[in-house]
Amino acid sequence: MSAARAHTGDRFDTLRQRAEAALDRIEAASRLEEAGDVRVLMHELSIYQVELEMQNEELRHAQQELEAARRLSDALLATSPTGIMLVDANGVILRTNKATSMLLGLERTHLEGQRFGVFLDPDSLFEFQELLAVALEGGPARPRELRLRRLGGLRFHARMDCSALDLQDLQAAAVPQAVCTFQDISDTVALREALRSENQSLDHQLRRRAQELEEINRRLVELLDQYEAARQQAEAAQRAKTSFLRNMSHELRTPLHGLMSLTEILLATVREPQDRELVDMARAGVAGLVELFQDLLDLAAMEADALEMLPADVAPELVLDAVCQSMAPVARAKGLRLDWAVDPTGNGSLACIRTDAVRLKQALLALLGNAVKFTPPGAGAVVCASCRQAADGLVFVIEDTGPGIPSPQLGQVCGLFVQGDDSLTRAHGGLGAGLSMACRLVGLLGGTLTLDNRPEGGLRATVRLPAAPCCGETPR
């Protein structure tokens, strides 16, 4: 706009110069008239008149353009959603737009001439004065967030920016002025405050959760310490129990061996059949006690992880036959039928395996003895033992027609001194160590032991041993 005004001023200067030249020519014409050259002068004046009319037309066009630019500027100011003010160095409002009137709640006629500071909170007045001063000095004025008051005292937050207005082309002695723009950011500030409050709440919750986690960790450490102490106590008790069993077994086994020797000597000297039967019963009882204490020693060794395994080439059929032959007299004495078979499916001879024959016999004897012990005598009372080849190794199966084990107790009978039914302890006696020892021995041999109740009644024990090639020794 300042360039257009400068251009207009230059045109007026040119017109003045031309008008002065025209007057000079008129005066010259009066002199020429005396000389008789009036026709030439009149032609010159006609040319000048046309030039003036053309210049007047240009001036009218320039004035129309300026008016259109002014109307466009006023329309932009009126329709802008941003408050726009022209203020002087003292903050007096010189001109405003419609948005400023709406934001401050006063008509433009009441705003112009007012100090803008009356619409500011006291804590925002200094910031506005500083912003205005920096802008008028031509420095980089950083936008500020101010608190303003509408008519009626309603406060709102606004973001304000100011920039100096260059008036040197319009006035020789221009008063410093600045254009200030501002927008209502109350919603943004409210959202920011809500986010800040939410962040504070989340931070508080996180600190509380952290404290709760610290408390949980502290309690967990205490529980772990208690568990470790209990574990150490349990291990100490287990070691004491194992030591007691081992010591007692040794202490009792020595006199029992003496009794065993005495019964054998007595059996060799007694001639009467009735007396020999009594001595034989005594010898069998002592032998049973010796085996029981041997089992206790083995259990103690297993508890202490000190049971020695001696692998050798083993013939499965010899092991099964030896176990069943040793248990057959006990089964007959109880009125039970004991059957055993090797490879009952008829798929051929069994392959030799490499394992500890003594521990395998001990495990099978415990399972077979358990079956004989808990199978009641009577018609149809049968205990069966079998051995067969499998794709992944060797399988021993021992079945009986006894009461079986209640399903809830099936997973517990491998515990030491545990029986499937506590009432059976009173009916049959014993320590309940047979199945526990069998489970542990089979595990030491690298196999698995599974127990399940047969649909027709009774218990089935299945021992699976992995295939292990022999070394060419004589099978035991």
Task: Kindly state the helix (H) or strand (E) to which residue 397 belongs, with its residue range.
Answer: strand 393-400
Question: What's the CA gap between 6 and 170, in Å, rounded?
Answer: 9
Q: What single-letter DSSP state applies at residue 339?
A: E
pLDDT number for residue 31? 60
Q: Which of 394, 393, 380, 391 is nearest to 456 (CA)?
A: 380
CB 331 within 8 A of CB 383: yes
Torsion sign (Cα): 287, 292, 295, 300: negative
- 22 pLDDT band, cuts 50/70/90, is low
Mention every residue, 6+ apart, whose C-beta is less than 8 A from residue 289: 252, 256
In 104-259, the DSSP E strands lie at 144-149, 155-165, 177-184
- 145 pLDDT band, cuts 50/70/90, is very high
Tokens 């003292």 correspond to what residue?
90
Over residues 242-260, the pLDDT tens digits come to 777 667 766 776 787 777 7
Token digits for 126? 């200094």
Question: What's the CA gap between 277 and 268, in Å, rounded?
Answer: 12
β-pair partners for 88: 177
Mean pLDDT, the chain, rounded, equals 80
pLDDT of 32 above 60: no
Mention every residue, 6+ apart, whose C-beta is less than 8 A from residue 42: 29
- 3-state DSSP percent of the chain in helix, strand and coil, to 5: 60, 15, 25
Q: Quick one: what percent of the chain has pLDDT higher than 70?
A: 76
Q: What single-letter DSSP state applies at residue 117?
A: G
Question: What's the CA gap between 323 and 315, in Å, rounded?
Answer: 13
Question: What's the CA gap between 361 and 359, in Å, rounded?
Answer: 5
Spell out the alpha helix ranges (H) of 270-315.
273-303
Task: State mean pLDDT over 325-334.
Answer: 83
pLDDT of 430 above 50: no
Q: Which of 385, 382, 401, 386 is nearest to 456 (CA)?
A: 401
pLDDT of 346 above 60: no
Over residues 156-172, the pLDDT tens digits come to 999 999 998 876 655 54
pLDDT of 108 above 80: yes
Strands 93-96 and 83-88: antiparallel
Question: What's the CA gap between 406 and 166, in Å, rounded?
Answer: 104
In 136-284, the DSSP E strands lie at 144-149, 155-165, 177-184
Question: What's the CA gap between 305 and 299, in Å, rounded?
Answer: 10
CA distances from 21 to 29, 44, 137 (A): 12, 11, 47
Most confident of 110-119, 267-276, 345-354: 110-119
Token digits for 160? 């304000």
CB 324 within 8 A of CB 278: no
pLDDT number for residue 228? 93
Quote the pTM value: 0.45
Token digits for 362? 């001990």
